[in-house]
Structure 1
Amino acid sequence: MAIGEEVSNKQIILKNYVTGFPKETDMELVSSSIKLKVPEGSKAVLVKNLYLSCDPFMRPRMSKPETESYIAGYTPGSVITGFGVSKVVDSGYPDLKEGDLVWGMTGWEEFSLISMPETLRKITFTDVPLSYYTGILGMPGLTAYAGLFELCSPKKGENVYVSAASGAVGQLVGQFAKSIGCYVVGSAGSKEKVELLKTKFGFDEAFNYKEENDLVAALKRCFPQGIDIYFENVGGPMLDAVLLNMREKGRIAVCGLISQYNREKPEGVFNLFCLISKRIRMEGLLVFDHWHLYPQFVENISKSIIEGKIVYVEDIVEGLESAPSALIGLFSGRNVGKQVVLLARE
């Protein structure tokens, strides 16, 4: 593979806008060609994609936009985009050179021409798997860190509940909260994941929400004195049950609503009066508001990883052709840990 050479480039495109639960057939593997050189005079960067990240926020981008969102939706016939780890092949951008490793937004394809290279972050710490930059050292990691510490300001001894707790973000929120002396409970959708929360991630307690007939009672059982902090990843009936179990002056960080993404009509929330009666603060969380924390975050967390103070579980599938199935699996809970697609090892 030489600079300037024209090569084939496999890609995943969105075929049509999606309603309801997405299917593999909503996406298509196609092949095009790409010249391994940045256009003359361009400040773009050409990268070879190594790892692709599957994230819940990608599902709303597959629907026909009806309201303005914080991130642009996908266009049918175009390449799907998301976070990934890549290696620079050619660069017109002065801060990046051939051979540099980067993470950021890229295409679901073998090679991508990045027209806004300033959004890429150069990887300098390589004593961990590169795939970690799709997770613990990437967007999900900073999301967990900022959501817990910036939005919820946890204190030692407080009660913390995390839904979708074995996922890319949840497994970190729980460990961060435990590290400062909180009591932490998580919920997940299988016996295997519940055991993982307790034995691998150190949660104090965990339960399988699919086995609970009464979520309000389940949370009361786990939190007899109530919940101080809720890290929200699910929405719907779970949020309603949490509101009834929150303590006064509780905090809720709304990171995601994965139970609602595939519904044609979202479920309502009925216990919002608790926000008033208990003086609860509920705030939406977007990682883009917290990029300024990243240098401090990556320095601290890298050290914790090396010292074995924090662990991370990934679910890695191989090959671009596996990407659609991996993404869809997020919404049925098929993955165990952070879902990653391996394209190349460099």
Structure 2
Amino acid sequence: MNKNIKNISKVIYKKLDNTKLGKKIIKLIFLFRTLNRKYKNPKKAGVYLIKNIKEIYFTDSKKDKGTQIKDLIKNINIIIPKEGFIFSIDELKNLSKTGLTIDNISINYAHVLNYSLNDYKKYFNNIDITNHVYVENEKELLEGIELLIDREIIEIKKSERNDKEKYIKYLENFKTEKASTFEEGLQRILLINQLLWQTGHGLNGLGRLDKILNELYYSDLKNNIISKKEAYNIIKSFLKTLHTYYWFKSAALMGDTGQIIILGGTDLKNGKKHYFFNDLTYFFIKAIRDLQIPDPKILLRVNEDMPKKLLKESLMTINTGIGSPLLSNDKEIINKMIEFGYDEKDAYNYVVSACWEPSAVGKGIEQNNINFISFLKPLNRIFDTLSDKK
């Protein structure tokens, strides 16, 4: 883009962003870009936008965020897929853009699997904290999630699916119980992931899914709830579901969704290092090779003690041209994180953000990909210096 045009665009954007109407205009511009990706035709995108202009909804910026999320969930259009996991995003409904939206992190989905909404309600009812506004917002958010569950259950009941009772049970359980099966755990992850996208968060990572799901998976195997083949097919369905709304999730470029799944890795057990992997590590890698979809991405944490078979599987998958798994050298990264100041336990449990920068999952919201750091500028200076010497 021409430098002058870029500078003028920045000025216009800042002026628009300072008014309520301006914020809506900005949102419409970005919405058109999103729809153009969906339809791959600006005319079709424009026609759809005009036809559905009355369906566009922004929450009231004067309300607290928790209330806004509840209002948003009341208004979204929920579409139940014909098969597979339950997942729905309404691209026409949005939170008002006030304050900063946190992007580019992986939440700790272990907390989603191991606790119910009731557990979190009890926590916030008994928490001793001076910031009462924060607590009330969290309570409103929990009510919003419960409302989303209730609304999805209503739509599932209306659907023609023959597995509706199973998914109704999975969603209902989230209110009062921790996840009890492997498939239920994946559905619960998708529900929260869906909510993150719907409320405007971007570049949403998934964390160490093979480790997070380890207990549920092996419990199901032991109790003959699923076979290994069924678990593999469930993972394929999960990945295909994550790939839906690809056009909505992409940031600056198509494919720039930040949906990164971390597999394997060096762990500490009783002070001793060991390389963690399981059946799921192999299943996820094989699934992306078989599906040949570019998103979500897989990142495999590697060290010298990892099984050669796992490395071979990864290289075979990379060789298909799918673009992952990416490989992350645990020895270097863990040591550097500890050297920087991270606790040893957090460093060994690291995940990465959308552009592969390591962070401590569930322990902070480090913005690794800060947009005002331009690594091209020092590179340009090097080239300029070399040119001057010539």
TM-score exceeds 0.5: no
Higher-strand-fraction structure: 1
| Larger-Rg structure | 2
Instruction: Give the number of the structure with larger relative contact order, counting CA–CA contacts within 8 Å between residues 6 or more apart.
Output: 1
Question: If the length of structure 2 is used for normalisation, what is the TM-score?
Answer: 0.25
TM-score, normalising length: structure 1: 0.28
Q: Which has the higher helix share?
A: 2
